[in-house]
Amino acid sequence: MTTRTPDADFHEQETWGAPGRQSTFVQDPETSPIYSFAAAEPYELPIWEASPPTEADSDQSSDDEPPPEYADPVSVEELTEYLFQFAGYFKRSEGRQSLERHLTGLLIHIGRKNAEQIAQAVANTNSQRLQALLTELRWDVDAVNRQRVQQLVREATTRGGILVCGETEMQKQGDASVGVVRQYVESLGKVKNCQLVVSWQYVDADYSWPVNTRLYIPQAWIQDPARCQRARIPEEARVYLTKSQIALMLLDEAAQWGTPYRSVVTTAGYGSDTLFLEGLEQRKTEYMVEVPAEFSIQVARRKSPSGESARDIIARLADDAWQPIAWPRSAGYRGGSLWTRVLGWRTTASGQGAFGWLIAERPLMETRDSLRYYFTNANPQASLNTFARMIRRASRFEEFTRFAKSELGWNQYEGRLWHGFHRHTLLVFLAYSFLTLRKR
Q: Which of the residue ranges 40-44, 78-82, 341-345, 419-423 would you say has the lowest mean pLDDT?
A: 40-44
- Is pLDDT of 258 > 70? yes
Residue 332 lies in a domain: yes
Same domain for 354 and 289? Answer: yes
pTM: 0.82
For residue 38, pLDDT over 80 is answered with no
Q: Do 237 and 165 fall into the same domain?
A: yes
The reply to whether 175 falls in a domain is yes
DSSP string, 130-198: HHHHHHTS---HHHHHHHHHHHHHHHS--TT-EEEEEEEEEE-SSS-STT-EEEEETTTTEEEEEEEEE
Residue 232 sits at φ, ψ, to 5 deg, of 55, 40
171 and 206 belong to one structural domain: yes
Is the pLDDT assigned to residue 17 strictly greater than 80? Answer: no
Closest by Cα among 372, 422, 371 to 394? 372
Please check the confidence at residue 191 and state whether its pLDDT lies above 60.
yes
Question: Would you give the distance in Å from CA 412 to the centre of its chain?
Answer: 15
Least confident segment among 145-149, 369-373, 387-391: 369-373
Q: Which of 189, 187, 200, 196 is nearest to 243 (CA)?
A: 196
Q: Is the pLDDT of residue 61 over 80?
A: no
Structure confidence at residue 363 (pLDDT)? 87
pLDDT at 350: 78
Q: Average per-residue pLDDT in the chain?
A: 83
Q: Which domain holds residue 164?
A: 160-264
Same structural domain for residues 289 and 387? yes
Same domain? 230 vs 307: no
Q: Is residue 421 part of a domain?
A: no
As a whole number, mean pLDDT of residues 187-196 equals: 90
Q: 286-313, pLDDT tens digit by residue?
A: 999 999 999 999 998 766 667 899 999 9
**What mean pLDDT comes out for the span 136-150?**
97
The predicted structure's pLDDT at residue 33: 33
Does residue 172 sit within a domain? yes
The pLDDT tens digits of the residues spanning 93-111 come to 999 999 999 999 999 999 9
The average pLDDT across 42-59 equals 39
What pLDDT, on a 0 to 100 scale, did the predictor assign at position 334?
A: 54
Residues 221 and 326 reside in one and the same domain: no
Q: What percentage of residues in the chain have a pLDDT greater than 90?
A: 70
165 and 74 in a single domain? The answer is: no
Q: Which residue from 152, 256, 253 is spatially nearest to 207, judged by alpha carbons?
A: 152
Q: Does residue 118 share a domain with residue 166?
A: no
pLDDT at 75 (0 to 100)? 74
Query: How does pLDDT run across 111-126, given as a tens digit for each residue?
Result: 999 999 999 999 999 9
Q: Which of residues 264, 284, 306 is at a domain's end?
A: 264
Q: How many CA atoms lie within 13 A of 91 on its CB side?
A: 4
Q: Which of 211, 245, 264 is the last residue of a domain?
A: 264
pLDDT tens for each residue of 260-275: 999 999 976 899 999 9
Residue whose C-alpha is closest to residue 263's, from 160, 166, 386, 361: 160
Mean pLDDT of 49-76: 41
Residues 6+ apart with CB under 8 A from 187: 166, 167, 169, 267, 398
Q: Are 94 and 31 within one domain? A: yes
According to DSSP, the residues that pair with 327 across neighbouring strands are none
**Which pLDDT score, from 0 to 100, does residue 188 have?**
80
In the prediction, which pLDDT does 365 show? 74
| Higher pLDDT, residue 94 or 50 | 94
Q: How many separate domains does the chain show?
A: 3
Spatial distance between the Cα atoms of 47 and 414, rounded to a whole number of angstroms: 23
Asked if residue 320 belongs to a domain, the reply is: yes
Predicted local confidence at residue 73, as pLDDT: 54
Least confident of 204-208, 273-277, 363-367: 363-367
Q: Identify which has the larger pLDDT, 309 or 332.
A: 309
What number is the average pLDDT over the span 17-41? Answer: 31
